Structure 1
Amino acid sequence: MRWISEPSEERPRVWQSLLAKVKRTIKEQPLRKLQTIGGRQLEFLYANEMVGDDKIELKAGVAFCFRRYHELIQDLVRGAWVRFVRGLRENQPLLGQTVDLDEFMFGSERADLSAARPVLFDFQEGRCFYCEGALQSRVEVDHFVPWSFYPVDLGHNFVLAHASCNAAKKDRLAAYKHLHRWCDRNVEQGTELGAAFDEVGVLHDLQASWRVTSWAYGQAAAAGVHVWTMGAKSVPLDRRWLGLQGMRL
């Protein structure tokens, strides 16, 4: 879903087709099954016969209960999903051993990343990771694979950048030249970087970062998504990304 979350001039028909498909899926899957308990079709939220229409009408009191008990309902639903996903063994290699599954699935509060700033500054020799200009004021820690794709703070995914470069990148994947630099850094300095993160209490899992990055770029390549290069410019993902060390799917 995330890979074409915004329509582009290059893919308007694909975008409209995706919206239609998602709409059909929501109508045919969760809405029809949400009130199925133990194989029985119940109607405690809304009338099932309304699911085929373009809207549903909640029964009296349902909206109030959602508002009043939303924290309890949220915890119950999250717990059920976590138990289900944890039972799928093939998910563990991607998640890594140190990643909290609840945080991975549902995100967590954005942490204060200031502890990582001096570490990254030293390893990048005071240069912006993206434009390579000198870092002075308005410096920010950026998630190389955007937080919106992988909402967990892992140190090897961090880079230090000018606030302007970070703002221009937004929540997009970075182009081949940036990925090349990220891979080289973690291949050559990954162990030292991890030790430095340990000293300041920054969570890290290099293997998980490799797997997540490989997965993210693989999905982007399959969807034909353009990646960010600099400023407002985006380009197709260079096919050479698969040859970079660490990017083995």
Structure 2
Amino acid sequence: MPPSVVRFFVLACAITWPCQLPFLLQQWGAPIPVDVATAPLVLGAIGPSVAAAVCAWKEGGRGGLSGLLSPRRAPAGWAWAPLALCMPAMLHLAGLALLALAGGSMPATLLYAPVTPEQRGIAFLAPLGEELGFRGYALRRLLPARGPVLASLLVGAGWTLWHLPTMCLPGVPWWSWVLGPLFITSLSVLMTALHIRSGGSLLVAIAAHLGIHLDNVSRAHLSGDGAAPLLVTTIVAVAAAAVAARRMRAWEPAAAVAAAAGAA
């Protein structure tokens, strides 16, 4: 892995994890006031984008930072944004169809939309706070060096690791520790495929991430629906990612173009 990407992942976790620690401890019963515990969460949510900006500045100064923040992200590829936005719900609904065909009992909730102010806030903050880093910085540097499949897996591993504190919150079931990394990594592969086909559009990555929060199947246990929704959605996501990975092996030139478009 390129040293610049290693620095990015380390810095992203170094920013986010300490910001999430007071809230994590407070949720586990530590006598920390709610305001003190929640105040750093906004900074933690944008940790990857902050880390990307710092790393880009270190690499190229003002030019590197302006290149990272440039809005010129393959406008012709923006037509892929609606598909990206709907992709998480499509995976979920396909999983529910699979569950119905297998004779399983359907969950009470069809889609897990954000319902609380906190959930709505993170639904719109997370895509901006994460995608400039994970897809806008890390993926674009990994694509030329590692190819689309390995780059997707590496970003998926880093993306999973970055989420580690939220997986340690009380009430998170054991199956989330098994299915969560598989689901996140599968999404990483699918988002890389969309990234390449859109010519490196950051807007497409943001749309896909927003779609994840608009139907966040990882919250199924909070609705009392158990493991089935996340399980069947993960099965479909893994299958779709396997198909995408196979197709991406023939996309090496397009991956190089997508990476170059992001660096322009």
Task: Return the index of the structure with the highest Cα Rg.
Answer: 1
TM-score range, shorter chain: under 0.3
**Larger RCO of the pair (alpha carbons < 8 Å, separation 6+):** 2
TM-score, with length taken from structure 2? 0.25
Q: Answer 1 or 2: which has greater helix percent.
A: 2
TM-score, with length taken from structure 1? 0.26
